[in-house]
Amino acid sequence: MARKKKEAEQTEFVEAFIEDQAITETIEKNYMPYVMTVIVSRAIPEIDGFKPSHRKLLYTMYKMGLLKGARTKSANVVGQTMRLNPHGDSAIYETLVRLTRGNEALLHPFIDSKGSFGKQYSRDMAYAASRYTEVKLDPICAEIFAGIDKDAVDMIPNYDNTMMEPSLLPTTFPNVLVSPNTGIAVGMASSICSFNLGEVCDGTIALLKNPKLSTDKLLDIIKAPDFSGGAGLIYDREQLKAIYETGRGSVKLRARYTFDKKNGCIEILQIPYSTSIELILKKITDLIKEGKLKEVTDFRDEIDKDGFKLTLDLRRGTDPDQLMAKLYRYTTLEDDFACNFNVLINGAPMQLGVAGILTEWIKFRIGCLKRELTYELGKKRDKMHLLRALGKILLDIDRAIAIVRDTQKESEVVPRLMDGFGIDEIQAEYIAEIKLRHLNREYIIERIKEIESLGREIHDLEETIADELKIKALIIEQLRDVKKKFGKPRKTQLIYADDIVEAPDIDQTENYNIRIVLTKDGYFKKTTYQSLRGADEQKLKDGDEIIASEDTENIAELMFISDKCKAYKAKADDFEPVKASALGGFLPAKLGFDDGERPILMKSMLGGYPAEHHIIYIFENGKGVRVPVSAYDTKGNRRRLTGAYSDASPVVAAIYEEKPMDILIMATDGRGILINSALIPEKTTRTAAGVILMSLKKGQTVSEVYAGDAATAYPSAAKYKKTKIPSPGVLPRVAPEQITIGEE
């Protein structure tokens, strides 16, 4: 009783803290904050082209004074960045590595680096530890931080409220399209390819001048994506137009190479941005092992300080262009870059095309410039305010000196100057702080002369801030300056349809004459003619017998019919050749038969699936059907067909018919009929049940079927001859001998 009472009290105690909550409420309160944090604060880049991790790192380096001067150890930067970024040092250093010149991931790196930083095109090339490498900001970062100290963007507290950091960076060019960025959030992802800086600047200028610029005009300016790894881009204008309009699609990249005639080798110098050398090497290795790349005798990674190089040694007489076309088709030397332009705009994710992103960047940049100009305007107004105070004391310098000299207390100096000259406290503080040596007419007059030029500057700033066209003109001027200083020729070359060499089919199976053999127990052998010379006696297991044997070629497709209403297809080349003295391979295991399933027909389909050829099925219930071989011709690479024939009655025999032949059908009671196959009706449906060929007595079934020469060689075969169906069959006058199909 005491135990039950204690358990009841515990239950009541637990239930007091449990309350029912709908799953939707749980998701809203617990899951959605996580989702929004990942989207807004981690995975998706904003309109400045940076994720928070990038922004925190670069701003830390900026505050460390690394825009100018010597490099510092990467470990120092990582440690300082942890004041803004609460993640571990390894995550911060990985972010730094990708932004460096040494990693080669960006068209315009933000970090000037010294040391080993791995390579974007290699997943296994490790970067050195942060204590060994050195970094500073690249000169292009001056454009990233332009105006940041002039209130161009909002400053927000860091994670522990001990310092401020920028919410965005006021970049003077559309970095969001110049630096590639990928990220996976919750329920969405972003994948932005890079574009050429000069082309982006020109496209933005065109959009500033004409906000209704068409996609076709924009495509003429920003021709296509441009990747740091170079390579070639297969130009499809319609596909690019869709990406430019919707922000979704893919571009096809392929490696660039040269052919060294002297040494007979191909040197691959640039590969697609989306692949790695390790993936390419593995695929080439697999193709060579499979015997599908016989043109290559050797290949090696020759990456050195001069850059990327993958060398392929070729067999004499190999066409390098044809070989590369094959490699483009079957390796990642040609690869797709999937575009998904998801960008955070004012904290909300939006999928935008190129024009849409540039339009949003223009809005953002106009806001930054207005804030920057407003900051400068305030500074100039403050200066004007102070200079006007100087103008007032110029009228009576001696009086100002006397006020300061005759004041007994320091705290009274500013109030007495305010009263004496009719100036405010800020002006009085400025006058009181002037050095004694500057209280002369010459100094004051020279300073007052600035009032006129300062007034013009203030007027110009006020007009510019109020006129958006003037701000756009200023943005255009900055974009032209950025292009002049940092613009580079395209690295990714455009490849047009006329320049593409068609790839040959890699499945160029070596062809030679073979003999294929199938036994009753399911053993299959492929034997070359060469191995058959003088040794053509087929070895079989005890009690096994050959049910099919045929001469064909190694390029043939083979079709097998099983006793479970299924058809299987395989390439002759899929089987290894064996000697006649070997047992061969177990076909059900090779083709994946079900338990207890066995083959009853084998045929080489070297000539295709002609409609005039048939497969004849004879069933235990005395029925038979003729199905056109064309019914088994399938599109694609299907290896198994279910419903190969009717399952209404167990099948006794499956016979391949190229032309009409004699067929002998024997029942369990000894009766039989010999008919020509032309009597059996053709059914175009594979699963047709057929018609009655032999009328059976109750309890009797078809037991044996012989076709062609085996049927006519049967003892007293002529006695069974029938010209009409169905037929009850006749009893033999002599005991039948056991003759099986295929015996001679």
Query: Strand, coil or helix: what is 655?
Result: strand
- Average pLDDT estimate for 178-198: 90
Q: What is the mean pLDDT of residues 340-365?
A: 94
Q: Which CATH superfamily is domain 610-744 in?
A: DNA gyrase/topoisomerase IV, subunit A, C-terminal (2.120.10.90)
The model's pLDDT over 211-225, given as tens digits with 9 standing for 90+, comes to 999 999 999 999 999
Of 621, 610, 602, which Cα lies nearest the Cα of 696? 621
Q: What is the phi/psi pair of residue 174, to 5°?
A: -70, 75
3-state SS, 498-540, equals: HHCCCCCCCCCCCCCEEEEEEECCCEEEEEEHHHHCCCCCCCC
Name the token pair of 627.
């199905």
User: Which amino acid appears at position 47 of this protein?
Assistant: I
576 exposure class (CB count in 10 Å sphere: 0-12, 13-18, 19+):
exposed
How far apart, in whole angstroms, are the C-alpha atoms of residue 79 and residue 406? 56
pLDDT digits (tens, 9 = 90+) for 579-628: 888 888 899 988 888 888 999 999 998 878 888 899 999 999 999 999 99
Rounded CA-CA distance 614/659 in Å is 8
Structure tokens of 237? 């204008």
Query: Which structure tokens are listed for 23?
Result: 């799953």
SS3 content of the chain, % helix, strand, coil (to 5): 40, 20, 40
Query: Which pLDDT score, from 0 to 100, does residue 459 have?
Result: 93
pLDDT digit string, tens, across residues 400-456 = 888 888 888 888 888 988 888 889 999 888 888 888 777 777 777 888 888 888 999
Contacts of 542 (CB under 8 A, 6+ apart): none
743 pLDDT above the threshold of 50:
no
pLDDT given at position 43: 81
Cα–Cα distance for residue pair 67/458, rounded to 1 Å: 30
pLDDT of 396 higher than 90: no
CATH number for domain 364-468, candidates 1.10.268.10, 3.40.50.300, 3.90.79.10, 1.10.290.10: 1.10.268.10
pLDDT for 469-495, tens place per residue?
A: 999 999 999 999 999 999 999 999 999
pLDDT of residue 512: 83
pLDDT at 31: 65
pLDDT of 270 strictly over 50? yes
Domain limits, the chain: 1-31, 44-171, 256-332, 364-468, 509-608, 610-744
Q: Is the pLDDT of residue 238 over 70?
A: yes
Mean pLDDT, rounded, for 206-235: 95
Do the domains 44-171 and 610-744 sit in the same CATH topology, yes or no? no
Tokens representing 76 are 């120092």
Nearest by Cα to 463 from 372, 365, 374, 368: 374
- From 31, 34, 132, 512, the catalytic residue: 132
Q: What is the pLDDT of residue 21?
A: 66
Write 645-649 long-range contacts (CB < 8 A, 24+): 645/561, 645/565, 645/615, 645/617, 645/686, 645/687, 646/565, 646/617, 646/619, 646/687, 646/688, 646/689, 646/690, 647/565, 647/687, 648/619, 648/621, 648/623, 648/689, 649/619, 649/620, 649/621, 649/623, 649/689
- The reply to whether 375 belongs to the active site is no
Give the sheet arrangement for strand 566-571, strand by strand.
Answer: 599-604, 557-562, 566-571, 640-642
Kindly tell me if the per-residue pLDDT of 740 is higher than 50: no
256-332 is classed in which CATH architecture? 2-Layer Sandwich (3.30)
Do 707 and 739 form a contact (C-beta atoms < 8 A)?
A: no
SS3 (DSSP) at 345? strand
Give me 416's structure tokens: 């007495």
The pLDDT of residue 507 is 54
pLDDT value of residue 742 = 36
**Between the CA of residue 77 and those of 54, 68, 111, 137, 166, what are the distances in Å?**
13, 15, 11, 11, 18
DSSP 263-306: TTEEEEEE--TT--HHHHHHHHHHHHHTT--TTEEEEEE--BTT
| Residues in Cβ contact with 597 at an 8 Å cutoff, skipping those fewer than 6 apart | 562, 563, 564, 566, 588
| Domain 44-171 = CATH 3.40.50.300 | no
Both structure tokens of 477: 């001027």
C-alpha 262/C-alpha 297 separation (Å) is: 16
From 21-35, 182-196, 276-290, 445-459, the region with the lowest mean pLDDT? 21-35
DSSP letters spanning 145-195:
STTGGGT-S-EEE-TTSSSEEESS---SS-HHHHS-EEEE-SS-EEEE--B
The bridge status of strand 493-495 relative to strand 232-234 is parallel
> The tokens of 376 are what?
């400068």
DSSP state of 630: G
| pLDDT tens profile 433-442 | 888 777 777 7
Per-residue pLDDT band for 738 (boundaries 50, 70, 90) equals: very low
Most confident of 338-342, 496-500, 524-528: 338-342
Say what the pLDDT of residue 475 is. 97
d(CA 199, CA 219): 10
Mean pLDDT, the chain, as a whole number?
A: 88
Tell me the pTM: 0.68
pLDDT in tens, 289-344: 877 888 899 999 999 888 899 999 998 888 899 899 999 989 999 999 999 999 99
pLDDT band at 535 (very low <50, low <70, confident <90, very high): low
When pLDDT is averaged across residues 342-354 and rounded to a whole number, the result is 93
Nearest to residue 50, comparing CAs of 85, 77, 86?
85
Residue 378 has pLDDT above 60, yes or no: yes
Q: What is the pLDDT of residue 529?
A: 81
- Does residue 262 surpass a pLDDT of 60? yes
Across the range 197-222, mean pLDDT stands at 96
Say which residues have a Cβ less than 8 Å from residue 174's Cβ, sequence separation at least 6: 49, 200, 201, 204, 357, 358, 361
What pLDDT, on a 0 to 100 scale, did the predictor assign at position 92? Answer: 95
Question: At residue 548, does pLDDT exceed 60?
Answer: yes
Note the pLDDT of residue 6: 64
Give the residue-averaged pLDDT of 707-724: 86
pLDDT > 70 fraction of the chain, expressed in percent and rounded: 91
